[in-house]
Amino acid sequence: MVQLTPNSSFSLTIRVKLPNQTGMLAQVLQAIGNAGGSLGHIDLLERTHTALTREITVNASSTEHAGTIVEALKAVPQITLLDVSDRTFDCHRGGKITVQSKLPLHSQDDLSMAYTPGVGRICTTIAQDKDQVYRYTIKSNTVAVVTDGSAVLGLGNIGPEAALPVMEGKALLFQEFGKINAFPVCLATQEVDEIVETVKRMAPVFGGVNLEDISAPRCFEVEERLRRELDIPVFHDDQHGTAIVVLAALINALKLVDKTFAEIAIVINGAGAAGVAIAKLLQKAGVRTIRLCDRNGIISRDRTDLNETKQSFAVEQSGTLADALKGADVFLGVSAPGVLTPEMVKTMAPDRIVFAMANPIPEIQPELIQGDVAVIATGRSDYPNQINNVLAFPGIFRGALNCRAAAITTTMHLQAAYAISALVGSDELHRDHIIPSVFDERVATAVASAVEQAARQEGISHC
């Protein structure tokens, strides 16, 4: 069984009352430590001559592990457990985003300009020239985050209501990292025609559409049709956001091992939306040898179970993931926990690179191969080299909205990846630092600038 490191996504806030005696806090902390919990903040809330009330933050590795920690505390003599709350559930309570007015309404004059009768003049202006909607409404800086709930994180087809917390989170990231207004749109349909038609009918409100967590292969058709039928940017982040950040990280990882795209062999495990998009973008970047694998092994020409998308990546070689990895320079995992073994890694070429990006449990735990690879990256924030889409999509849309690009193109994807990779200078580049932090304030600006420049070069900028 794969053991997870305690992390904040399973963190608890625990309030305990304990006697005001030497050594009592030590007993509490020892109980948490013995149960495998990782301590965070310890605050003193109240003190009397006889008792102390403390609030303790503890990271666990799972819901079950959190329960074990709580039971361990209950067993400590003279300790009263006052309250236990799940910090992740606490931060989601009531939702994570809100709509806030930009204008004060302090007088009748304010109201008459912001709403009726003054607003009628704005409506007339837009009716006479629809382009004015970008100047006088939220459209110029608003993105729809659209899902059908069919492929949410690693949870699968859990439906639109259960997908809403993720889409809220996406909207939060758009605002925090790109200063873009975004709103979650979770659709109660998984029919391609209905998704496309619904988004088209909503399009007058939005300056762009970010598709999210729609399962393959339907996501390819949804994106293709919306790109063709709308005059605003459409971007499927699970595909292109992932591909952009992977390319950016791989550019820098290859610098460390002195290899080029033209000479390496890459194995991609996972032939869904992300895996296919990564393969396509890497080909555009100059990679010649890619072996794409799914749960049935190598996508090979002798297989009869391939859809049209997979057929385009079929190779002569057949076999398992283990067969594909022999002599390969790079493993890119967008698949499932534990599918990669140390033995498989050791069959790869020297100076091997492993991106194990399944989340929250990667294809292989980094600790198992730390000494056997030149570079390892994951999708997790508690390991170095986190491959995180937030490095791409806020800047992508910021740039597209700034220049009113009619679409988001492959050239923009490439230029965004180059911009991200360039933020890690040669003096900073090492095996544990091949990609900027998501909190690096330069990222969104650099990506936006690259996207705007590409849009103008391609002639699809409207300003």
State pLDDT tens for residues 368-412. Answer: 999 999 999 999 888 999 999 999 999 999 999 999 999 999 999
**What value does the mean pLDDT take over residues 350-361?**
93
pLDDT at position 457: 93
pLDDT at position 205: 97
φ/ψ of residue 16, rounded to 5: -130, 150
Res 123 pLDDT > 60: yes
Res 195 pLDDT > 80: yes
pLDDT band of 3, cuts 50, 70, 90: low
pLDDT at position 260: 96
Residues labelled as active-site residues: 115, 170
**What value does the mean pLDDT take over residues 409-424?**
97
CA 284 to CA 163: how far, in whole Å?
A: 32
pLDDT at position 153: 85
CA 292 to CA 227: how far, in whole Å?
A: 26
pLDDT at position 2: 46
pLDDT at position 463: 75
Bridge partner list, 404: none
Res 426 pLDDT > 50: yes
**What value does the mean pLDDT take over residues 86-107?**
92
Which H, E and C letters describe the chain, residue by residue? CCCCCCEEEEEEEEEEEEECCCCHHHHHHHHHHHCCCEEEEEEEEEECCCEEEEEEEEEECCHHHHHHHHHHHHCCCCCEEEEEEEHHHHHHCCCCCCCCCCCCCCCHHHHHHHCCCCHHHHHHHHHHCHHHHHHHCHHHHEEEEEECCCCECCCECCHHHHHHHHHHHHHHHHHHHHCCEEEEEECCCCCHHHHHHHHHHHHHHCCEEEECCCCCCHHHHHHHHHHHHCCCCEEEHHHHHHHHHHHHHHHHHHHHHCCCCCCCEEEEECCCHHHHHHHHHHHHHCCCEEEEEECCEECECCCCCCCHHHHCCCECCCCCHHHHHCCCCEEEECCCCCCCCHHHHHCCCCCCEEEECCCCCCCCCHHHCCCCCCEEEECCCCCCCECCHHHCHHHHHHHHHHCCCCCCCHHHHHHHHHHHHHCCCCCCCECCECCCCCCCCHHHHHHHHHHHHHHHHHCCCCC
What confidence tens digit (pLDDT) does each residue in 302-346 have?
998 988 889 999 999 999 999 999 999 999 999 999 999 999 999
pLDDT at position 461: 85
State the chain's mean pLDDT as an integer: 94
What confidence tens digit (pLDDT) does each residue in 261-314 have?
999 999 999 998 899 999 999 999 999 999 999 999 999 999 989 888 899 999
Res 414 pLDDT > 80: yes
Res 67 pLDDT > 90: yes
